[in-house]
Chains A and B, each alone.
Chain A
């Protein structure tokens, strides 16, 4: 069929577009072992600088590209110098989180400057089309391909044959050794960030011209696709990133061809999971490549946890328990209900990410599974709400663990990327599995929470209900951590090879952690479903997962009390800043950055 040629060409064209972002990500990962979640925001900044150049200053194309590259490189240098360099000696997760904070700040600054309305970014190339197969390609397609390929080749040559390139590779391999050999590691990092940011900015410009459209919400999608492409190709491998991007484009295009448009991203993320499971270092990693992460305590800060005395905890719990007896507004109670729900999710994540070391970026999927199960049980099968919520917890525990189990053999960042993909897959399955989930229409009319036949509809009763559920889960988890099982979990986190040598079955213990964590998250999702009465596939999204991770790190990885303190803080902060309206996410991002900078081990430290 002639259409297959068209699908192939289309896949390669869009793959080109992804390659522009993926190459920058690969370069940074190669040197800093850091997935730079701010790369999408630099891409956004580049697009808007390009808009100013093209529409306001009427610069010719070559000048536009230079202006954007230089300005974006400057942004990259600033990020490196002030955002990331101070975090050099802190835990691995700190710079990752910092890049998320930086992306909030950049996105919001662009939005405040340019307003959130989408803008047209006209292409500065002539609008001629060449017939290829049943479709056409234009000069901009060729330019994008040219920029992607040329930059990949130039980077490859730079890394392999130039002195600074050697320094970059030496730093990537062993930072301390490189430093001892006289490599100026900071200069290397700076060069890499500058180059990657320039590339990111130019890609934003070109992609904006390609679609004749830029808007302030485009950075997260760009990051997601870039990360998928980069990891599929082999993280840190620049030519691999290009090939991974083209592959991603092709898989998406063929996926649309065979199954239709609504399945598009499903296949992209399935590809990622498949690659990670079959070749954990990516398709183009060399067999002799060193393990991607140091094996010991990858993400865990060496810190002394803050021990909160038992009486203080009791006093705090009692204070929260009797709070509704005082004339506090329902708004405060509702905000705290949100905090308790997030607290359950954070308990779940702090167990799997903190205690056993599997950093999950797709944890919202567990919420969604719990919410849908509970909603459908109570609606379709008339199961009492209390039991339905427990059913949601059990389903999350079972299904969540089964879904995540392929990632058990992965390490470090690859775990987070795999879980990110699984989170997206769950959301897309919910969107497409209409006979069960009602697809995009969502589920409405979910009955309210009830206990022994009494409906809990007032904020006070919901407050107490969710508070008690969270406290029970927290007590159980505290008990778990103090037990032999909890020590085994931490042993696996701290050194999985040593743990295995002592005869611990890694997969079995990781499964246990996810079963317990899945239950807590599923219950949280179930309660939320009955609280909202309407859910759809967007209710529990990636931003929820990122929020949960932020909470857990803020509180201190593996720290039960920390998870709850973090939840109250992160649900509360945006509410406190509510008065600042458009500025509040900006403030939130800055607060996040400051926390990461000055207390990377979390408020209460790692258990």
Chain B
């Protein structure tokens, strides 16, 4: 490349950068239009079910926000772009959102690669990326425009470890975990906490998300003779492991992370998940009014379907977004600053949620200690199984 080319290249790019910046600043302040949030998430592809669940949660929250008078009289709405949770698509969507002046904040993406690939774009453009399912420890380190209501595994896993070791009295544990960034991080926090509480880790086994057959893994588990199995799984693989564990004759106590909490876990696991212990942040029989209001509303809107944790995350995220926009208005930078100002937002997961400005996450995850009894999740009554 000749010198002239290079110089024009740099100059041209500067000019266009400035033009682009000026263009995206020009916010329209039409108050009859709804305030628009961008959502980047999977509607097709292998994670499509989560995008569908997000929509249900969002729509319920939006109905309630509108019924309560909207955001200072304006409607709140979202523009859901299908990324398939693929980083190539999430970066394109990010450019679409940052250059659309109507978008005041972004929610998503579902997985860490897709979210974190888009983070630099949001950070540079100064648009909040609100990743409510992103527990990757580095997600909020992407910059001060990255915020998350996803409970850091550093918070959640010690609670599960306490349930397993202190309350259930398990001393020798086998840990099965999804071998993804999430599963791996969770496993590390869990193992650390469990050891601190005095348990021994007999074996840890990581499996890939597409795996369906766990029999051989379970033989390894059996040979390490643990007195409890810990599942760091999603509900579909968690149910599979529980079933196959019972089929190959393992009778140990099973204790699972909150991510299995879903009516689907019971449906898919059948008899095999009876007596499985689950530490969860979301439990529908929780008498707290936030939870009961969410469930009643959800069942009414969706023909009696029971909501699950991902519905709740999305519902909470939309409510949090509304609270932030209420304070920050429609200016992108002011919205970023508003995250530090919102206090005690009513939340299904946290009760009330306030951000920790340092980590840009919500602190103080609660755990309900559940057990599956007669095919239903129930609060654990303290009796050993």
Mark A74-106 against chain B: 1 for CB-CB distance below 8 A, else 0: 000000000000000000000000000000000
Residue on B nearest A577 in the bound complex, by CB: B82
B346 located at the interface, meaning its Cβ lies under 8 Å from any Cβ of chain A in the complex: no
Mark A330-348 against chain B: 1 for CB-CB distance below 8 A, else 0: 1101110010010000000
Mark A458-490 against chain B: 1 for CB-CB distance below 8 A, else 0: 111100100010000000000000000000000
Taking a contact as CB atoms closer than 8 A, the residue among A212, A327, A445 that contacts B270 in the complex is A212
Contact of A335 with B185 in the complex, beta carbons under 8 Å? no
Minimum CB–CB distance for A117 against chain B, Å: 5
A3 — which chain B residues lie within 8 A by C-beta?
Answer: 219, 222-223
A36 located at the interface, meaning its Cβ lies under 8 Å from any Cβ of chain B in the complex: no
Given contacts A216-B48, A261-B217, contact A575 B92 (CB under 8 A): yes
Docked CA distance A461–B181 (Å): 31
Contact of B219 with A581 in the complex, beta carbons under 8 Å? no
A440-463 residues with Cβ-Cβ distance < 8 A to B are 440-442, 444-445, 448, 454, 456-461
Contact of B184 with A440 in the complex, beta carbons under 8 Å? yes
Contact of B247 with A441 in the complex, beta carbons under 8 Å? no
A293 located at the interface, meaning its Cβ lies under 8 Å from any Cβ of chain B in the complex: no
Taking a contact as CB atoms closer than 8 A, the residue among A116, A334, A468 that contacts B1 in the complex is A468
Docked CA distance A219–B16 (Å): 45
A507 — which chain B residues lie within 8 A by C-beta?
Answer: none
Taking a contact as CB atoms closer than 8 A, the residue among A115, A215, A218, A333 that contacts B52 in the complex is A115
Contact of A536 with B181 in the complex, beta carbons under 8 Å? yes
A315 located at the interface, meaning its Cβ lies under 8 Å from any Cβ of chain B in the complex: no
Minimum CB–CB distance for B122 against chain A, Å: 11
B176 — which chain A residues lie within 8 A by C-beta?
Answer: 261
Residue on A nearest B46 in the bound complex, by CB: A217
B240 — which chain A residues lie within 8 A by C-beta?
Answer: 211, 213
Contact of B13 with A532 in the complex, beta carbons under 8 Å? no
B267 located at the interface, meaning its Cβ lies under 8 Å from any Cβ of chain A in the complex: yes
Given contacts A334-B91, A539-B87, contact A252 B216 (CB under 8 A): yes
Minimum CB–CB distance for A461 against chain B, Å: 4
Minimum CB–CB distance for B38 against chain A, Å: 11
- The interface on chain B, measured as residues whose beta carbon lies within 8 A of the other chain's beta carbons, has a size of 84
Spot the interface stretch: B203-211, B290-298, B363-371.
Answer: B203-211
Taking a contact as CB atoms closer than 8 A, the residue among A13, A215, A264, A440 that contacts B180 in the complex is A440
Contact of B13 with A335 in the complex, beta carbons under 8 Å? no
Contact of B43 with A581 in the complex, beta carbons under 8 Å? yes
A71 located at the interface, meaning its Cβ lies under 8 Å from any Cβ of chain B in the complex: no
Given contacts A111-B44, A457-B120, A536-B113, contact A331 B96 (CB under 8 A): yes
Taking a contact as CB atoms closer than 8 A, the residue among B20, B215, B267, B268 that contacts A460 in the complex is B20
Contact of A134 with B184 in the complex, beta carbons under 8 Å? no
B213 — which chain A residues lie within 8 A by C-beta?
Answer: 10, 14, 17, 252
Docked CA distance A116–B52 (Å): 8
B239 — which chain A residues lie within 8 A by C-beta?
Answer: 212-213
A468 — which chain B residues lie within 8 A by C-beta?
Answer: 1, 9
Taking a contact as CB atoms closer than 8 A, the residue among A116, A215, A444 that contacts B138 in the complex is A444
Docked CA distance A18–B219 (Å): 20
B343 located at the interface, meaning its Cβ lies under 8 Å from any Cβ of chain A in the complex: no
13 interchain pairs (CB within 8 A)? Answer: A117-B264, A127-B271, A217-B46, A325-B16, A329-B95, A330-B95, A334-B95, A445-B138, A458-B13, A533-B119, A534-B87, A536-B112, A582-B43
Question: Which A residues are closer than 8 A to B by beta carbons?
Answer: 3, 6-7, 10-11, 13-14, 17, 108, 111, 115-120, 122, 127, 129, 131, 134-136, 138, 211-213, 215-218, 221, 252-253, 256-257, 260-262, 264-265, 324-325, 327, 329-331, 333-335, 338, 341, 431, 439-442, 444-445, 448, 454, 456-461, 464, 468, 528, 531-536, 538-539, 543, 574-575, 578, 581-582, 584-585
Question: Which B residues are closer than 8 A to A by beta carbons?
Answer: 1, 9-10, 12-13, 15-17, 19-20, 23, 43-46, 48-49, 52-53, 80-82, 86-89, 91-96, 98-100, 111-113, 116-117, 119-121, 124, 136, 138, 141-142, 176, 179-181, 183-185, 205-208, 210-217, 219-220, 222-223, 236, 239-240, 243, 247-249, 264, 267-271
